[in-house]
C-alpha cells in the first residue's frame, strides 16, 4: 500500500469513527430530550450539520492528498524529461571539448544534440500550453482548416520525428468532399501531434498506427488515431484526460511523459466546440482516440484562401 493509499484509508476510517460517534450522541440526545420538542429539533439539526461537515472535510482532505501526489508525480516526470536531454547534450559537448573528434562523428553528435533540444522544446511547450489552456480555456482564433491536409502534415512530422518508415503510420480519408472545420490550425495540429506521439510511444517496437479523417454526419468531422499498442484498462478510460494523470499499468513505467498531452487534447477540442473520447478493449489490445469537431460547411468561406497550412521545420 502506497503512502497516499494509507493516508486516504486513515482519513476515511477517522471520518467513519467520528460520524459513528456523532450518530451515537445524536441518538442519546433524542432519548434524553424525547419529550421536549425545541431542544430535540435543535440537537438533530446541529448533529446533521456536524456530520455533513465531517464528510465534506474528509472528502476535501482525500482530494487534496490525491492532488498533491499528482503534482509530485508531474514534477518528477518533468524533471526527468528535462534532465535526460540536458545530461546527454552535456556529455557530447564535454566529449568534443576534451577529445579530437572526426567530422563524421561530430555530425552524429550534432544530430543527437539537436534531437535532444527538440525533446526539451517539446516538453517546455507542453507545460506552457497546459498552463495557458487552464487560464484561458476558450480563447481560440478561428479560420477554415482542412483537416485532411493537416493530418497529412502531422503524419509526415511524426514519421520524421520518430524515425519511422512510411508504412508505420497509415493515413485514410473517408470522404470525397472537403473536411473543413473552423478553428486554430496550430491548436488542431497540437491535438493530432499529441495523439500520434502517444500512439507511437505506447506501441513498442512494432509501430502500426492508423490515422483517419472522416465526416460521420453532415455537421461533424472526426480525426481518429488507432494503435496496436499496450492498450488502456477500461476503468481508466475516462481518467486519462485529467491533468497530470498517467495510465497505471504494469510494464509501462519505463515510458516517460508529463501527463499533460491528453489534457491538452481535451482542452483544445472543447475550446473548438468538440470532444475527444478513447476506446480500448483492455491491456495489450491497442487504443483508439477520436476527436469530434463541428464541420465548417460554408462554401463561400472554404473557397477563399483564408488559410494555408504553415509547414514546420523538423529536425530528424
Per run of 10 residues, the mean pLDDT along the chain (length 316 residues) is 64 71 69 66 73 77 73 68 82 86 84 82 75 66 86 88 86 77 87 89 85 88 90 83 73 65 87 89 86 75 42 36
**Gap between the Cα atoms of 49 and 316, Å rounded:** 63
- Rounded alpha-carbon distances, angstroms, from residue 102 to 91, 94, 106, 107, 306: 17, 15, 6, 9, 49
DSSP class of residue 178 equals -
Listed by start position, the domains of the chain span 1-136, 143-303
Q: How far apart are CA 35 and CA 266, in angstroms?
A: 59
Instruction: Output the pLDDT for position 308.
Output: 42
Return the residue matching grid coordinates 481518467. 239
Among 14, 27, 24, smallest CA distance to 55 is for 14
Q: How far apart are CA 106 and CA 93, in angstroms?
A: 10
Q: Are 81 and 87 in contact (CB under 8 A)?
A: no
The full DSSP string for 19-83 is HHHHHHHHHHHHHHTTT-HHHHHHHHHHHHHHHHHHHHHHHHHHHHHHHHHHHHHHHHHHHHHHH
State how far the Cα of 246 lies from the Cα of 282, in Å rounded to an integer.
15
Contact status, residue 198 vs residue 138, Cβ threshold 8 Å: no
List residues bridging with 292 in a β-sheet.
Answer: 222, 275
| Predicted local confidence at residue 316, as pLDDT | 31
Q: Taking the mean position of all CA atoms in its chain, how far away is CA 264?
A: 6
Distance of alpha carbon 314 from alpha carbon 157, whole angstroms: 7
Q: How far apart, in whole angstroms, are the C-alpha atoms of residue 209 and residue 215?
A: 20
18 CB-near residues (< 8 Å, 6+ apart)? 54
pLDDT at 43: 67
Dist CA 152 CA 282 (whole Å): 29
pLDDT at 309: 43
- Written as nine digits, the cell of 45 is 439539526
Supply angle C-alpha 194, 119, 138, rounded to 5.
Answer: 40
pLDDT for position 314:
36
DSSP state of 234: G
Residue 289 has a CB neighbour count (10 Å cut-off) of 26
* Predicted pLDDT at 166: 84
pTM for this prediction? 0.66
Angle at 91 between CA 88 and CA 94, to 5 degrees: 150
Q: Are 230 and 240 in contact (CB under 8 A)?
A: no
Q: What is the pLDDT of residue 292?
A: 92
Residue in the structure block whose three cell numbers are 488502456: 232
With cell 473517408, the residue in question is 174
Quote the cell numbers at residue 68: 498533491
Q: What is the rounded distance in angstroms from the CA atom of residue 178 to the CA atom of residue 211?
A: 17
Q: Please check whether residue 150 is in contact with residue 309, taking contact to mean a CB–CB distance below 8 angstroms.
A: yes
CATH of domain 143-303: 3.30.565.10
Report which of 219, 197, 227, 221 is spatially closest to residue 148, judged by C-alpha positions.
221
Amino acid at each position: 500500500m502506497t503512502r497516499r493509499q494509507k493516508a486516504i484509508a486513515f482519513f476515511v476510517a477517522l471520518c467513519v469513527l467520528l460520524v459513528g460517534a456523532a450518530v451515537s450522541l445524536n441518538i442519546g440526545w433524542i432519548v434524553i430530550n424525547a419529550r421536549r420538542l425545541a431542544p430535540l429539533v435543535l440537537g438533530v439539526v446541529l448533529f446533521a450539520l456536524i456530520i455533513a461537515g465531517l464528510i465534506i472535510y474528509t472528502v476535501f482532505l482525500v482530494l487534496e492528498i490525491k492532488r498533491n501526489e499528482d503534482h509530485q508525480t508531474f514534477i518528477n516526470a518533468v524533471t526527468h524529461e528535462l534532465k535526460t536531454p540536458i545530461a546527454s547534450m552535456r556529455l557530447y559537448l564535454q566529449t568534443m571539448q576534451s577529445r579530437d573528434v572526426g567530422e563524421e562523428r561530430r555530425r552524429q553528435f550534432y544530430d543527437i544534440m539537436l534531437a535532444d533540444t527538440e525533446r526539451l522544446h517539446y516538453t517546455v511547450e507542453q507545460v506552457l500550453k497546459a498552463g495557458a489552456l487552464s487560464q484561458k480555456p476558450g480563447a481560440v482564433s478561428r479560420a477554415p482548416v482542412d483537416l485532411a491536409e493537416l493530418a497529412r502534415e502531422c503524419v509526415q512530422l511524426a514519421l520524421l520525428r520518430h524515425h519511422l518508415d512510411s508504412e508505420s503510420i497509415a493515413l485514410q480519408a473517408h470522404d470525397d468532399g472537403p473536411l473543413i472545420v473552423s478553428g486554430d490550425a496550430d491548436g488542431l495540429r497540437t491535438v493530432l501531434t499529441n495523439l500520434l506521439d502517444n500512439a507511437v510511444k505506447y506501441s513498442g517496437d512494432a509501430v502500426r498506427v492508423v490515422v483517419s479523417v472522416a465526416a460521420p454526419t453532415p455537421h461533424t468531422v472526426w480525426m481518429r488515431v488507432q494503435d496496436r499498442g499496450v492498450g488502456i484498462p477500461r476503468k481508466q478510460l475516462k481518467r486519462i484526460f485529467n491533468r497530470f494523470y498517467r495510465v497505471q499499468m504494469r510494464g509501462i513505467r519505463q515510458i516517460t511523459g508529463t501527463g499533460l498531452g491528453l489534457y491538452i487534447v481535451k482542452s483544445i477540442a472543447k475550446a473548438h466546440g468538440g470532444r475527444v473520447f478513447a476506446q480500448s478493449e483492455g491491456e495489450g489490445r491497442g487504443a483508439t482516440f477520436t476527436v469530434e469537431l463541428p464541420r465548417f460547411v460554408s462554401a463561400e468561406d472554404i473557397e477563399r484562401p483564408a488559410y494555408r497550412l504553415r509547414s514546420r521545420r523538423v529536425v530528424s
